[in-house]
């Protein structure tokens, strides 16, 4: 049944139907196929009542508001200029911003780095779909080995390994993602150097651009502050420090209220609730186990499909790793392959918030994105399979 939903989603996306329509159809279809009929309405009410839903929606509004303020006040432009003066190769600047911001978890972190990537990409006349790909790809390089991300924390806990073991196990995945992204997305860009001489104000301008983002990220990570609260504080301090007038703030807020985006985010949350309430993942997983399908196929297919459907690491880790745990015993290579499969499913997923919101931000078509994204995903998957066959981590764990 879930394969029918998956197939319908892919066809509708390929037909260029807007993502919120795709999600709405998938929600209704899932509910009916799993015998719950109109119970998706109950799930919708439950999602609307959940404070986390409103917190996340507010977070997205505040992310856009913060980036709008940084752009309209010229802070973003000055910071990018300073980066280009200090890192002379523009290509390195282009990939370093999403990479560094991606070192810490943030709601739709790719959206935080998107304005920086766009600013640099526009200056070197890089196509929008390439800007989107670079920002999206390099944002997720360290996510699978990072001890402050929920996914690896959950995975290590379920499998019963230390973070050092997890890091060694997933190191090929991180290197494969980085090398593939560099050769496919960065190396092909003509090398351009900024002829401007570095100035003493460069460090000040970089700090001026990074501190609001750093504040919004560090407070939730280090002190457990709600992301919406940390972003609100960053917005207030940015507006105050840059002497933003009330009229300018009102205009920025109006631009930040992107209804289509907020609807998409809500429907993604509702879709996850429907999947959870219908026990769709568990029922499909159980069926695959009883069909006698080879272990390695299950270890690849389950995380990949669930990753594609849920769009979050904790989705495929939490739903499939407990079922796959017997296969991981004394086989850390298969663990790495399963983690890679789920991660690549997420990268290709339109329900992945980083994907959907930055696609809208850069205003690119799914067809243009997938044409370049899928070959990169296939390369990383192939490398992961080869490492698994070779027996990585070669006794290091």
pLDDT at 90: 81
pLDDT at 106: 62
Region of residue 16 (phi > 0: left; psi between -120 and 50: alpha; otherwise: beta): left
Residue 199's contacts (CB-CB under 8 Å, 6 or more residues apart) are 85
| Domain of 334, in residue numbers | 132-193+289-397
Quick one: the chain helix, strand, coil %, rounded to 5?
Answer: 80, 0, 20
Find, among 229, 240, 134, the residue nearest to 181 by Cα: 134
Tell me: pLDDT of 313 over 60.
yes
pLDDT at 132: 94
Tell me the C-alpha distance between 387 and 322, whole Å. Answer: 23
- Phi and psi, residue 193, nearest 5°: -110, 145
* Distance, CA of 385 to chain centre: 23
Find, among 291, 376, 188, 271, the residue nearest to 21 by Cα: 271
Residue 49's contacts (CB-CB under 8 Å, 6 or more residues apart) are none
pLDDT, tens only, 104-129: 666 566 887 888 888 888 888 899 99
pLDDT, tens only, 9-27: 777 766 767 777 888 898 8
Instruction: Outline where DSSP puts E strands in 158-225.
Output: none
pLDDT, tens only, 318-354: 777 877 877 887 788 999 999 999 999 999 988 888 8
Q: Do 310 and 67 touch, CB atoms closer than 8 A?
A: no
Q: Region 292-309: what's the mean pLDDT?
A: 85
Number of structural domains in the chain = 1
Tell me: pLDDT of 176 over 90.
yes
Q: Is residue 278 part of a domain?
A: no
Q: Is residue 35 part of a domain?
A: no
Q: Is residue 383 part of a domain?
A: yes
Instruction: Outline where DSSP puts E strands in 28-130.
Output: none
Tell me: pLDDT of 397 over 60.
no
pLDDT band at 194 (very low <50, low <70, confident <90, very high): low
Tell me the C-alpha distance between 237 and 246, whole Å. Answer: 14
Tell me the C-alpha distance between 160 and 17, whole Å. Answer: 42
Q: What is the DSSP string of 253-283?
A: HHHH--HHHHHHHHHHHHHHHHHHHTTHHHH
Q: What is the mean pLDDT of the chain?
A: 84
pTM exceeds 0.75 for this model? no
Tell me: pLDDT of 314 over 90.
no
pLDDT band at 254 (very low <50, low <70, confident <90, very high): confident
Q: Region 49-64: what's the mean pLDDT?
A: 85
Query: What Cα–Cα distance (Å) separates residue 343 from each residue in 14, 306, 316?
Result: 21, 10, 9
Exposed, middle or buried by CB within 10 Å (0-12, 13-18, 19+), for 26? Answer: buried
Exposed, middle or buried by CB within 10 Å (0-12, 13-18, 19+), for 339? Answer: buried
pLDDT band at 75 (very low <50, low <70, confident <90, very high): confident
Tell me the C-alpha distance between 3 and 318, whole Å. Answer: 20
Tell me the C-alpha distance between 41 and 60, whole Å. Answer: 24
Exposed, middle or buried by CB within 10 Å (0-12, 13-18, 19+), for 308? Answer: buried
pLDDT, tens only, 350-389: 888 888 888 888 989 888 889 999 999 999 999 999 999 9
Q: Which residue has the higher pLDDT, 134 or 396?
A: 134
Tell me: pLDDT of 193 over 80.
no
Tell me the C-alpha distance between 346 and 344, whole Å. Answer: 5
CA atoms within 13 A on the CB side of 299: 22
Q: How many CB atoms lie within 10 A of CB 395?
A: 7
């Amino acid at each position: 049944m879930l394969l029918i939903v998956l197939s319908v989603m892919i066809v509708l996306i390929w037909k260029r139907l807007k993502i919120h329509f795709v999600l709405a159809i998938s929600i209704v279809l899932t509910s009916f196929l799993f015998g719950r009929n109109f119970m998706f309405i109950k799930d919708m009410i439950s999602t609307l009542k959940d404070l986390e839903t409103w917190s996340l929606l507010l977070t997205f509004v505040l992310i856009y508001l913060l980036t709008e303020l940084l752009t309209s006040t010229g802070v973003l432009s000055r910071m990018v200029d300073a980066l280009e003066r200090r890192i002379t190769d523009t290509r390195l600047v282009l990939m370093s911003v999403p990479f560094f911001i991606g070192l810490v978890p943030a709601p739709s972190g790719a959206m935080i780095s998107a304005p920086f990537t766009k600013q640099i990409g526009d200056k070197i006349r890089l196509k929008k779909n390439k800007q989107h790909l670079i920002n999206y790809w390099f944002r997720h390089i360290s996510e699978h080995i990072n001890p402050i991300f929920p996914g690896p924390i959950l995975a290590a806990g379920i499998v019963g390994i230390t973070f050092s073991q997890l890091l060694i196990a997933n190191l090929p995945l991180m290197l494969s993602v980085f090398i593939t992204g560099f050769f496919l997305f960065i190396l092909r860009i003509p090398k351009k150097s900024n002829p401007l001489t570095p100035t003493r104000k460069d460090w000040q301008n970089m700090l001026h651009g990074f501190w609001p983002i750093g504040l919004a990220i560090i407070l939730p990570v280090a002190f457990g502050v709600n992301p919406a609260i940390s972003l609100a504080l960053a917005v207030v301090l940015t507006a105050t420090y840059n002497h933003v007038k009330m009229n300018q703030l009102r205009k920025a807020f109006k631009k930040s209220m992107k209804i289509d985006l907020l609807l998409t985010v809500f429907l993604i949350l509702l879709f996850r609730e429907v999947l959870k309430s219908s026990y769709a993942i568990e029922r499909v997983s159980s069926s695959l186990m009883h069909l006698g399908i080879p272990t390695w196929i299950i270890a690849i297919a389950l995380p990949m499909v669930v990753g594609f459907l849920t769009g979050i690491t904790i989705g495929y880790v939490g739903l499939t790793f407990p079922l796959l745990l017997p296969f991981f015993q004394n086989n850390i290579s298969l663990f790495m392959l399963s983690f890679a499969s789920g991660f690549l499913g997420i990268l290709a997923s339109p329900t992945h918030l980083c994907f959907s919101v930055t696609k809208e931000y850069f205003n690119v078509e799914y067809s243009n994105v997938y044409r370049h994204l899928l070959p990169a995903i296939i390369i990383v998957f192939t490398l992961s399979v080869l490492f698994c066959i070779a027996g990585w981590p070669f006794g290091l764990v």
